[in-house]
Amino acid sequence: MNTAVAEGPATPAEGNYLTNGYSLWSWLTTTDHKRIAILYGLTITVFFFMGGAAATLMRIELISPTPLIMSAETYNKLFTAHGVIMVWFFLIPSIPATLGNFLLPMMVGAKDVALPRVNLLSWYVFVLGGCFVVATLIAGGIDTGWTLYTPYSTRFSHTTVVCGVAGVFVTGFSSIMTGLNFIVTVHRLRAPGLTWFRLPLFVWAIYATSIILVLATPVLAMTLVLLAMQRVFGIGIFDATLGGDPLLFQHMFWFYSHPAVYIMVLPAMGVASEVITCFARKPVFGYRTMAYAIAAIAAFGFMVWGHHMFVAGQSLYASLVFSFLSYVVAIPSAIKVFNWTATLYKGSITFEAPMLYALGFVGLFLVGGLTGLYLASLGMDADLSRTYFVVAHFHYIMVGGSVMAYFAGIHFWWPKITGRLYSEAWARLAAIVIFVGFNLTFFPQFILGIDGMPRRYFEYAPHFQFLNILSSAGASILAAGYVLPFVYLTWSALHGAAAADNPWGAKGLEWQTRSPPPVENFDAPPRIPVRPYDYDPEAAERERR
């Protein structure tokens, strides 16, 4: 297959990937990984605000313990839409398909991904899946929760489950194509001399994520086929009335969906590693252990799915093993947190906006991870798993972790991607607003959970109201915090000052080329460092003085 042909004629020295054709058609038919990254970025931004709107409506409703602005059915549909959109149409593609797509080939010193046309196809498949989901929303939405548990989803729900499931099914193939492409790229297209242990940790993280994408996503796809068949034909292996097993669905679903959590958080860890080392002006502490920890998280991530079913009637012995393995995953995760902290130690730290987001990521991920240990213990989970504690834990990892890191990455590589600078003051303000808003939204939910407020309920006991109002107030701050970057980044993309090639003085290969990069990424062969992250904190300190 002849996939290496760069589009268009030879680029003039001052041209870049953004000036290589201005028509909509040139974007829709591009095979340039950088443009595909932008296409993904715009698409998931739309989904992010759709999912965010659903969350906002839910938080408004939960201000009052009694019905306020909607019916219980609408509430169920909102939390389902929020979950489905945020998980499959924002978080899973967020860092891999945007930052990963843009940066991975540059970080390995290549012109493009290995299979550029497959890369473009993956975006179209993603959009097609998104169309199914939008169609589902227009048809009234589904009310099963994003987990689609049987028998509710197969027998009792009166909503358009099959259409929504089709959207997730189709989108899965875009995940598989993206993952496959990245694995081939890392194996085949590394520049000469760029050995595995010279790769940035971001590449390690995306590589591990890609393996999960390729191996776990097909399992979800087939599970959803079985679910849809059972719903359409009225019989299937999840049907308890025929001696089938609804719990089997949960096993199959979480066999994908737990590793999916690592699909969402491993790339975030990769971003944090790049950003923290750059703004601490210090090499990543324990680079090899960081790389091994990524691999360990990916591997163990496949063996812990049963901790979602401790109270679902699973065998106690299975639960014990899953509980143990869930604790085991905490070890490499903790190694990473310790190493980020140790990277900061005696660094020459500056607090630019990407660093603020990345430090926020580390703190919030720590809280999310530690509360995960509560839930990994069988006794605690029996009490907590039906409560808001789980919601808070999950959002600390997914929003406090993944979304914060996504923003860290967007800000960090923004000058490279757009060739323009964003407003540092606004960006720092937004980082702080998001951090405060996030904690105010979700910390009260830990307390609500410990107090026993059940999750997914539309109404609640009046004595939970105060903390719910706090949470809703936090959500409004958080919403404002998310609108801020949307505004100032849009402004920057149109009117921002031109960025230097390497405004942060960072060491990655992607900073050796122009901003924005030329079509084929590098005008001259990039210089391969002997070791990654060759920062010198003492020199940086002298320079600052």
Partner 1 sequence: MSAGAEAMRRGASANDSDSEVGLWLFLASEVMFFGLLFYGYAITRITHPLAFAEASAHTDVLLGTINCVLIFTSSLTVALAARCLRTGARRASLRLLAATWTLGFLFLAVKCYEYDVDVANHLVPWGRFAFHGGLAAGERMFFFMYFVMTGAHAVHLIVGLGILAAMVVGVARGRYTEHNSEAVELAALYWALVDTVWIFLYPVLYLVHRP
> Residue numbers of the site for partner 1 (CB under 8 A)?
1-4, 109-111, 114-115, 118, 176, 179-181, 183-184, 187-189, 191-192, 214-219, 221-223, 225-226, 229, 233-237, 241-245, 248, 252, 255, 520-522, 524-526
Is residue 100 within 8 Å of residue 166, measured between CB atoms? no
* Smallest gap from residue 114 Cβ to partner 1 (A): 4
State which residue, 42 or 222, has the beta carbon closest to partner 1.
222
* Smallest gap from residue 521 Cβ to partner 1 (A): 8
**Of 75, 66, 65, whose CA–CA distance to 465 is shortest?**
65
Residue for token digits 């358009």? 160
Left, alpha or beta for 286 (phi > 0: left; psi -120 to 50: alpha)?
A: left
State which residue, 176 or 325, has the beta carbon closest to partner 1.
176
AA identity, residue 394: F
* Smallest gap from residue 184 Cβ to partner 1 (A): 5
User: What is the dihedral sign for C-alpha 54, 59, 60, 66?
Assistant: positive
Q: Which two tokens stand for residue 318?
A: 């299975």
State which residue, 68 or 242, has the beta carbon closest to partner 1.
242
**Of 134, 132, 194, 94, whose CA–CA distance to 406 is shortest?**
94
CA–CA gap between residue 87 and residue 465 (Å, rounded): 28
DSSP, res 498: B
**Of 347, 346, 343, 341, whose CA–CA distance to 281 is shortest?**
347
Residues in the chain: 545
> Could you give the C-alpha distances from 218 to 44, 129, 179, in angstroms and in order?
22, 15, 12
Radius of gyration from C-alpha coordinates of the chain: 23
* Smallest gap from residue 528 Cβ to partner 1 (A): 8
DSSP, res 396: I
User: What are the residues whose beta carbons fall under 8 Å from the beta carbon of 390, sequence distance 6 or more?
Assistant: 375, 384, 449, 455
* Smallest gap from residue 2 Cβ to partner 1 (A): 6
* Smallest gap from residue 109 Cβ to partner 1 (A): 6
Residue for token digits 């929020």? 82
Q: Tell me how many degrees the CA angle 524-530-536 measures, rounded to the nearest 5.
A: 100
State which residue, 181 or 277, has the beta carbon closest to partner 1.
181
State which residue, 181 or 492, has the beta carbon closest to partner 1.
181
State which residue, 114 or 408, has the beta carbon closest to partner 1.
114
Is residue 369 within 8 Å of residue 333, measured between CB atoms? yes
State which residue, 182 or 412, has the beta carbon closest to partner 1.
182
State which residue, 6 or 54, has the beta carbon closest to partner 1.
6
* Smallest gap from residue 179 Cβ to partner 1 (A): 8
Reduced to 3 states, what is the DSSP secondary structure of residue 454?
A: strand
Q: Which run of H or E residues covers position 73?
A: helix 72-84
Q: Which two tokens stand for residue 522?
A: 């590098």
Residue for token digits 């706090």? 470
**Of 360, 355, 362, whose CA–CA distance to 339 is shortest?**
362
* Smallest gap from residue 416 Cβ to partner 1 (A): 17
State which residue, 25 or 233, has the beta carbon closest to partner 1.
233
* Smallest gap from residue 45 Cβ to partner 1 (A): 28
State which residue, 248 or 334, has the beta carbon closest to partner 1.
248
Left, alpha or beta for 282 (phi > 0: left; psi -120 to 50: alpha)?
A: beta
- DSSP bridge partners of 387: 454
DSSP, res 501: S
State which residue, 111 or 155, has the beta carbon closest to partner 1.
111
* Smallest gap from residue 191 Cβ to partner 1 (A): 5
State which residue, 132 or 256, has the beta carbon closest to partner 1.
256
DSSP, res 242: G
* Smallest gap from residue 420 Cβ to partner 1 (A): 25
* Smallest gap from residue 40 Cβ to partner 1 (A): 19
* Smallest gap from residue 25 Cβ to partner 1 (A): 26
CA–CA gap between residue 119 and residue 130 (Å, rounded): 17
State which residue, 227 or 293, has the beta carbon closest to partner 1.
227
